[in-house]
Structure 1
Amino acid sequence: MNRRTTRALAVALTLVSGATLAGCSTDSTPELKVSGAFMPQPVADMAGGFLTITNDGDTADKLTSVTSPIADDVTIHETKNQKMQEVKSFDIPAHGELKLERGGNHIMLMGLKVQPKQGENVSIELHFEKADPITVDLPVEAATHNPKQH
């Protein structure tokens, strides 16, 4: 190879490498929105929180934690074989959703500092691996409320 050919190959490889890297770049962020949020009126010092998180973005994310000013401890739980256990996170797929619902995966608020009543709202903040936190007001519904039955 002569010098001109070597130089042309080097330029071509640089251009191809740059195009490949640019194509792999993931500057997109998850596009999250929350719907169907509610909390059944608590009957003790703990309560469940339920909602759906929809991700319209091209990037997956994870729900990593939840906080609330009305509870000493807020955790996320999965339900498997009718047993619930705390988990570190829930996946929210790109162009998908995460459903937190009665009888399934859910939020647990423990050590309630107040007893919210039906018709009130409880504020929670959802924390994610990639997206900014989202503050959600959970309407307090009747203790037996279950949208899946409607």
Structure 2
Amino acid sequence: MRPTFPAAALAALIALPAAAEPVIEIRDAYARASNTMAGAAFMVIENTGTSPDRLVAAASDSAARVELHTHVMDGDVMRMIHVEEGFEIPAGDSVLLERGGKHVMFMGLSAPFEDGAGLEVTLTFETAGEIVVEVPVDQERMPAEMGHDTMDHGTMDHGHADHGGS
């Protein structure tokens, strides 16, 4: 008679990583255009899983280039920078992508953002993989939790970023 314990133990070990995977949920997404060539998307990314993940890329047919950006103070000037390593999404926590902070940047818009329209955005996570999100355009929205209601991407010093070309 063969022992069943080793097979059962192996099956349990194989199942463990799946239970530890991040579970990513996207909430409260919206997009705005700062001008006819650039815009941004904002949202809450929640990881309800038990291991961290990282948002590493974003893509959309709505723009020639889509990047993950944030803002940093450089002396007296707020600068927007491309965050090549992406954004960590801690286990059991959420990350707010907001105006004046972390966000998804659209450069070289394929068409102007129209209020009420939707943009299909693919978010790529290291572990969770690709998640496609329909992001509504809301040019008037000013979230209460934001705290940077007056920030304007169109007048900000974007450093060496080219927001208009491909």
Query: Where does the alignment leave 5 or more consecutive residues of structure 2 unmatched?
Result: 1-8, 147-166
Per the TM alignment, residue 78 of structure 1 is displaced from its structure 2 partner at its CA by 1.5
* 2:114 pairs with 1:117: yes
Counterpart-to-counterpart distance in 2, 1:118 and 1:92: 29
Counterpart-to-counterpart distance in 1, 2:72 and 2:34: 23
Q: Partner of 2:56: helix, strand, or coil? A: strand
Partner of 1:15: none
Per the TM alignment, residue 149 of structure 1 is displaced from its structure 2 partner at its CA by 6.6
Query: Where does the alignment leave 5 or more consecutive residues of structure 1 unmatched?
Result: 1-17
Structure 1 stretches of at least 4 aligned residues deviating more than 4 Å after TM superposition = none
Question: Where does 1:24-63 land on structure 2 (aligned, <5 Å)?
Answer: 26-27=17-18, 28-63=20-55
Number of equivalenced pairs: 129
Amino acid at match of 2:79: K
Partner of 1:9: none
Amino acid at match of 1:87: V
Greater Rg by CA = 1
Partner of 2:104: 107
TM-score (norm 1): 0.78
What are the superposed Cα offsets for residues 76-130 of structure 1, whole Å, 9 maximum, x if unpaired?
0121222211112100000011110011111100011111210110110000100
Do the aligned residues in 2 keep the contact of 1:102 with 1:146 (CA within 8 Å)?
Answer: no
More helix by share: 1
